[in-house]
Structure 1
Amino acid sequence: MKVLLVHPYFLSLDAHEQNVMKPYPPLGILYLSAFLKTKGFDVRVFDGTFSEPDAFFREVDHFQPDAIGFYVNMMTRHNALKLRAGLKSKALCFVGGPDTTHYVGAYLAHGFDAVILGEGELPTWQWLSQISNPDQWIQIPGLAFKQESMVMANPAAKPSTPIEEFPMPDRQSIHLNQYLDCWGKHHGYRPINLITARGCPFQCTWCSHSVFGYSLRKRSVNHVLAEMEWLNRHYNFNAYWFADDVFTIQKNWTLEFAQAVAQNGHLKKPFETITRADKVDEAVVEALQRSGCSKIWIGAESGSQTILDAMKRGVKRDQVKWVVQNLRRVGIQTGMFFMWGYTGEGLTEILDTIQLAEECQPDTALTTISYPIKGTPYYKTLQEQGLLGPEHDFENGTDRQNPINGRYADSVYHEATHLLALRLKLVKYQNQAGLRKWLSPLPRMQAWRSLRRLNHLINSG
């Protein structure tokens, strides 16, 4: 059986990413491709990143697949819908990914024959194996489909297969060097992405767990090093991106990884990753430095402990500050994520967040406005409190457009981001530019004006 797996993301249609130019290969669909090939399927991957929608239809005409599978998230939903609508092939179409779980009926109504729920490998294999026997579909965990006019959704099984039992991602099915060349051209280095774990057990209210639930499966250090060895033999790159939710979630693993990298020096390259402040202590800081970590991203989210507790982050404000300062001490850059607009946030909490950023002085600070993803505790709480507005249009919106009643206008949060950037700039001037430049009234005047605008927007809104 011939199967075409589709990553329906097109850089040419993403004006924002064209300014950033930091695309990464779609590991999830590459894991699925490798797995299906071990089961005897003839699999091809259409990666739209550096391509055009018309190329997808040409690939379908040329390959003539029996089944076409789309991986979707919020960013790629609309592209997938358009590609499905334009298909003239008689192939059965299925869809999976983090966007599908809570929109099963909508995807089935838009022409998909099946929806994969949760982790994709096992239900996709089982469905493809029974694709000509619809009577058996009801037996497949993690599969949704229509039976006559009724939507049938079999709950996904809890992910339990050790990651080591899945083959490595099928990177050779795409033009991976296009990603490396893109990074090299625009940023001067060539990173490659991989994961050491699947899932996250933490209870943050706004985070979606629609694929892996609250499970965690960590690969062994030796298994990760084997993949790093393979990558070094096959590709010309000079950095890693470990795309885990929480890289240092297991302290002993982190220490073992640092020791293993030290013993295999040819594999050591700078790497970036993400973690939580409560999963970093002195020993972990030193281990990250020894293993080559060049930058680590911390989900600070808010400088208000009240808001952090409401989010069920399980992290203390002072932990964030300690981690950033100690990572800087050993030469590791830091990035911090901040989230505006969570329920209960007012001007005081906004200023608390800006103050935390000033105290931490991260190398990079990124902000977002909170949005309720369907199925999350945050979404359910807003719904119960009557604060959630009408659901977005499935074809033309995403969960980012789910309105929250009673919240400040987005202009408030845009100004807060501007003020945060100005305050960080002032701190940088103070630390690096000398007293004369620090005493210059211009940067201080800009920050003062921004604070006035922020107050005005809040009081007038």
Structure 2
Amino acid sequence: MKVLISHSYFLYLDAKEAAARKPYPPLASITLAAWIRQELGLEAEFYDVMFDKGPLGLIEAIEGYQPDVFILYDDDFNFLTKMCLHNMRDAVFAALRGTKKPGLFIAHGSDASDQAEAYLQAGFDLVVHRNAEKTIVDTLRRYRENPGPEAYRDLDGISYLEKRKPVQKPQLKTNLDLEHAPFPAWEKIDLTPYRNMWQESQGYFSLNISTSHGCPYSCNWCAKPLYGRSYKAVAPERAAEEFALIAGPLKGDHIWITDDIFGLKPGWLSHFADELERLQVRIPYKCQNRADLITPESARELARSGCDEVWLGVESGSQKILDAMDKGESIETIKTAARLLQQNGIKVGFFLQYGYIGEEIADIQKTLQLVKECQPDHIGISVSYPLKGTPFYEAVAAQMGEKKNWTDSGDLAMMYRSTYHPDFYRALHQYTHHYFGFVSLFRRQPLARRLRRLAAQYKHIPGMLKYRWRMRKYLGMEKA
């Protein structure tokens, strides 16, 4: 049986990320290829659309290979695919319109899970939802013996059309054992264009790995269509071996750990650091974490294992907004986490989110004050994005119009009736970046470095004034 795997993230259809020039390979897609090899003995082909300008290459790959099964498997580990971007969906649907289906077509990903009916109407035979690795392996095993709809229609965790109407089966509650997960099938992908783009733009080459699935917390705006609130992690020995693979044969210089939360299990980080030392592997990495999980011990172990950057899901400097989001964190916890990481020589990134229900100017000012006080090394700014299946989406669904997904990752459209005019938040986004650039001047640093940065930092003053004026202008306008 011939199996072809691809994904839907076209870098050049996302202007913001194309300009950043820091592409990561579709980790989940090549991991699925490894699962299929391990569980079924099948050698799946893989086609990478990352550097394609449109759907033509995917059309040619399908028509040229004529697979019995085509699987569009989006990267569950990348926040960009979790955004459910219109441009990517449109490109995939164009590919389906441009090819004659040679066999069974399967789709999996955040967008496919959220918009299952649209994917089915576009030509996919089934959409696989949560815990997709097991469902796909089971489907392929059955389909190999008995090609046809009866091979999969009694499986849980899928959607399909019956008499032109969508049928969604109950969610699958189990998955393949993560403890026996194979390494991604890196040989399926040409890393050369990734390496070249990273080297040209950043001077080093970064690759991605995943050490866990899921998140046990309950932030009400966060979509969990892929693994739910469960949390499972690989053994620290296995994670260390994958670090060795990237630092050695794959010739990576840096690692991005894609986990929603890294090293959650007690003792995991210490064991991981021990294993890296045993293997004599030292490679810098960045990860994401919750502020309330950063303790003096975890900060030390992160540093010992080579972590040079931690991104915290701060979201807001207002306790009122954090409570409304069901974050389960306090502002003081965020301040403590930032300080502990910085004391251990680890750079800190803040994810910030504007426009949540009930956020007012006073809350925004508290967010800016938190940035000034904590002096993070980086910030990432977004606006609240209602994703289907979340309590947040249900709360604002009645206020939403036709637009329910962003076009690309730089869209930042307010898709529900926010406190202020949508253009206010675009101006606020720019103002915050200039504000951050200016206040970072006051970060503790050697005098010589501060003097070198002085002229560069003060260039942000005109930008701050410009976007502050725009915000005041939009405050006087009616909401959209």
TM-score normalised per structure 2? 0.88
Q: What is the aligned partner in structure 2 of residue 154 from structure 1? A: 169
Q: What is the aligned partner in structure 1 of residue 95 from structure 2? A: 83
Q: What is the aligned partner in structure 1 of residue 204 from structure 2? A: 189
Q: What is the aligned partner in structure 1 of residue 49 from structure 2? A: 48
Which of the pair has the greater relative contact order for Cα pairs under 8 Å at 6+ separation? 2
Does structure 1 retain, via aligned residues, the 8 Å contact 2:404–2:415? no
Q: What is the aligned partner in structure 1 of residue 115 from structure 2? A: 103
Does structure 2 retain, via aligned residues, the 8 Å contact 1:338–1:366? yes
Where 2:387 maps in the other structure, the secondary structure is: coil
> Aligned equivalents of 2:442 and 2:244: distance in 1?
44
Q: What is the aligned partner in structure 1 of residue 370 from structure 2? A: 356
> Aligned equivalents of 2:405 and 2:233: distance in 1?
35
Q: What is the aligned partner in structure 2 of residue 121 from structure 1? A: 133
Matched to 2:317, the amino acid is G
> Aligned equivalents of 1:50 and 1:160: distance in 2?
31
Q: Tell me the number of residue pairs that the alignment of Structure 1 and Structure 2 aligns.
A: 456
Does structure 1 retain, via aligned residues, the 8 Å contact 2:247–2:283? no
Segment drifting more, 416-425 vs 305-314 = 416-425
- Shift in CA distance, 405/126, structure 1 to aligned 2, threshold 3 Å: same
Deviation of the 1:406 alpha carbon:
4.5
2:317 counterpart (285, 296, 303): 303
> Aligned equivalents of 1:327 and 1:364: distance in 2?
13
Q: What is the aligned partner in structure 2 of residue 279 from structure 1? A: 293
Where 1:115 maps in the other structure, the secondary structure is: strand
1:241 maps to 2:253: no
Deviation of the 1:374 alpha carbon:
0.6
Matched to 2:107, the amino acid is V
Where 2:105 maps in the other structure, the secondary structure is: strand
Where 1:109 maps in the other structure, the secondary structure is: helix
- Shift in CA distance, 78/395, structure 1 to aligned 2, threshold 3 Å: farther
Deviation of the 1:62 alpha carbon:
2.6
- Shift in CA distance, 4/419, structure 1 to aligned 2, threshold 3 Å: same
Q: What is the aligned partner in structure 1 of residue 13 from structure 2? A: 13
* Residues 49-448 of structure 1 mapped to structure 2, 5 A cutoff: 49-52=50-53, 53-72=55-74, 73=81, 74-75=84-85, 76-131=88-143, 132-265=147-280, 267-383=281-397, 386=398, 388-392=399-403, 403-431=415-443, 433=450, 447=464
The runs of 5 or more residues in structure 2 that have no matched partner are 75-80
The runs of 5 or more residues in structure 1 that have no matched partner are none
Deviation of the 1:10 alpha carbon:
2.3
> Aligned equivalents of 1:287 and 1:406: distance in 2?
41
Where 2:127 maps in the other structure, the secondary structure is: strand
Q: What is the aligned partner in structure 1 of residue 78 from structure 2? A: none
> Aligned equivalents of 1:241 and 1:14: distance in 2?
20
- Shift in CA distance, 281/151, structure 1 to aligned 2, threshold 3 Å: same
- Shift in CA distance, 446/59, structure 1 to aligned 2, threshold 3 Å: closer
Matched to 2:434, the amino acid is L
Deviation of the 1:249 alpha carbon:
1.9
Deviation of the 1:145 alpha carbon:
1.4
Q: Deviations over 1:325-365 (max 9, x none)?
A: 22122221111110000001011111111111111111111
Where 1:100 maps in the other structure, the secondary structure is: helix
- Aligned Cα RMSD in Å? 2.7
Where 1:152 maps in the other structure, the secondary structure is: strand
Deviation of the 1:99 alpha carbon:
1.4
> Aligned equivalents of 1:321 and 1:36: distance in 2?
45
1:25 maps to 2:39: no
> Aligned equivalents of 1:105 and 1:444: distance in 2?
49
Q: Deviations over 1:73-113 (max 9, x none)?
A: 41332221111111124222111111122322221111111
